[in-house]
Structure 1
Amino acid sequence: MVDFRYHLVSLVSVFLALAVGIILGAGPLQNAIGDTLSNRVEALRASRDDAREKFDAANDELKSSNAALKKAGEQLVDKTLTGRRVALVVMPGASDEEITAAQESLTLAGATITGRMDLNAKYASSDGAAHRKAVAGQVGPALGQAQDAGPDDVIAAAISHILRKGVNDGASAPLVAALTAKGDALVKIADLKQPADAVLVVAPKELRLANASKAKKAAAAKVYTQAFKDLSAKGPTAALGADGGKNDLIVSLRGTKSGSTVDHAGGTQASINTPIAVASEILGGHVHLGTGQSAESPIGTRVDVAVPGAAGSNAANGNGNG
């Protein structure tokens, strides 16, 4: 049995230690601890303020650089597309901000936007393959397509005709009816009354297809990629996409070796490169601009397209890729 005196000594030791701690904390150590903590707080505050100043300075410099680049870019593309008409083809998932930015950049270069055609999920879904085959059977003869042409190629040819001839063209009416049939529409058309000299395809970083598996999305991406290739074969076609990462759709379009491409949609860089890519296509050349995978140059060089009807203008300036 433990002696009572052992407990007493233990209790006295505890209280003595507590008393010594209180005395030292309130006396000699108080100022030292307080000064140390205060110094650390001040150092952290100074470090934070310094980091904030550096961030603000870098942010201001970036804004100034972007403003200068934008101003230089406006001069670089000014009047390069005067009198030219451009139609937009929008793939599922492309953002409204990027579409608006593309329209503004083309307009600043002097182009007129003739309208817009949105390709919907049914355009490329695995489940809609039978329907697309039936539509191709309807529109193929009107386009003079070979009987062995693939359904998706025939539909892309129909889209190209509508874009480049306008919805008021006599041959466009049955094509529009087949592609926009109520309940089975493959596309949505806004305006497009005027024929376009060039087509700009706006692609998303990732296709937005509801309830689609990874395999179905990959299959759909191939259909949209083929559509870009087919449109390019019919006339001047450029594509605008995301940041050009390994799995971006724009990289897939770029890999077709047809048409022109621009990455980093919505940015200052793309606002300069988009009119340059379209102008290059009208003159029969292909460029791949941006900083993404397989891009040839961060910024393109000025391309002047002759104004329709002006001296020196000719049929080659707007009738396809040479």
Structure 2
Amino acid sequence: MINFRYHMVSLAAVFLALAVGAVFGTAAANGLASDVLSDSLSAAHKANKQLRQTADDLQAEASHKDDYINETAPAVLRSTLVGRRVVVVTTPSGRDHADGVIEKLELAGAAVTGPIDIQEAFFNPKDKLDLLALTRRSAPSSTLPANSDGVETASALLAKVLLTPDPPGAPLVASRSVVLSAYADAGYLTGPKRIDRPADAAVLVTGAAYVEQDSADRNRAIVTMAAQLGTAGRIVLAGTAAGDGSAIEAVRGDEALTGRISTVDGVAGAQGHVVTALALAERIAADRVGSYGTAEGADALTPRQR
């Protein structure tokens, strides 16, 4: 008869066999999995190396493209803005892109005033009543928008002093200086406090849309400024992109604004700088308006050459 001790030894043998099998099975499986994982890692490293090389090649290509654009710009822009006076106005996000735009405008022969750097306070909703009061004090007799929108009223006055032609025989140098000095002294802009003559056209350079608190109000304020400049004279709005909330997107989506404001996206690069100068030349010489660049809403990459 099988006794209890035999049962215990048998059960122990069974459990031992299971344990040994599990150990050897796991070792074998781990060996196979390790080989598969090693192969996958090796393939991933190779793919990553290839992607890095591709990225480096694309970066070099982009750099060479800018070099090509800069080298051909003199031939493309030559004399397109000779004898024209242009004022460059920047928003806080567009300040870093203004130098490239100014360089191409001057290469085209323009006499550039600016940049006039509009400060954050100008677009801050909390400062709109102070901005409105300052504007009223600076030009009490001017015909300005009769509302409580400080940005609209101040932008209308700036547009007037920067773009409206002087009356015959009565230059408005003093009044322009009063307005520009008032805004500069209050911290709403930096730039020249005296402009002897109004400009023939303006470029408003902006960048990425606001995304923080009060972003919707601030983004609308930039569009408001563009609209007032476009009401007073010829203007090109140059921005980095046409994404959600951007001034470029807002103007391109507004039929009334697209009828009087040319837009250029991609102003962070050399191509955008050249196209901005070409768009301004078209705006002045042919009185044509267009939307240029590669972003959504653009009609063409560059203005048509005629």
Structure 1's 247 and 18: CA in aligned 2 closer, same or farther, altered over 3 A? same
Per the normalisation by structure 1, the TM-score is 0.70
Aligned match of 1:228 = 226
Q: Distance in 2 between matches of 1:60 and 1:123?
A: 39
Q: Is the 8 A contact 2:101 2:276 kept in 1?
A: yes
Residue 275 of structure 1 is matched in structure 2 by 277
Greater share of helix: 2
1:174 aligns with 2:178: yes
Distance in 1 separating the partners of 2:41 and 2:136: 76
* 2:241 equivalent in structure 1: 243
Could you tell me which residue of structure 2 aligns to residue 130 of structure 1? 129
| Equivalent in the alignment of 1:97 | 96
Amino acid at match of 1:80: T
Structure 1 unpaired stretches of 5+: 304-322
Count the aligned residue pairs. 292
Q: Which amino acid aligns with 1:115?
A: G
Tell me by how many angstroms 1:54 deviates: 5.0
Identity, % of aligned positions: 18
For residues 255-274 of structure 1, the aligned pairs below 5 Å read 255=254, 256-257=257-258, 258-274=260-276
1:291 aligned counterpart, secondary structure: coil
Cα deviation code 1:32-69 (max 9, x no counterpart): 88876766565555555555555555555555555445
Using CA pairs under 8 Å that are at least 6 residues apart, name the structure with larger relative contact order, 1 or 2: 1
8 Å CA contact 1:200, 1:239 repeated in 2? yes
SS at match of 2:191: strand
The alpha-carbon deviation at position 81 of structure 1 amounts to 2.4
Deviation of 1:235 (Å): 1.9
Task: Tell me, yes or no, if the aligned pair for 1:74 and 1:272 is still in contact at 8 Å.
Answer: no
Q: Are the aligned partners of 1:102 and 1:266 in contact in 2 as well (CA < 8 Å)?
A: no
Q: Structure 1 pair 39/77, CA: closer, same or farther in 2 (3 Å)? A: same
Q: Is the 8 A contact 2:180 2:194 kept in 1?
A: no
TM-superposition CA deviations, 1:209-249 (whole Å, max 9, x none): 7xx43xxx433433332221221222221111131124222
**Gap change, CA 1:8 and 1:83, over 3 Å in 2:** farther
Q: Which runs of 5+ in 2 are unaligned?
A: none
Q: Deviations over 1:159-180 (max 9, x none)?
A: 1244348999122232234323
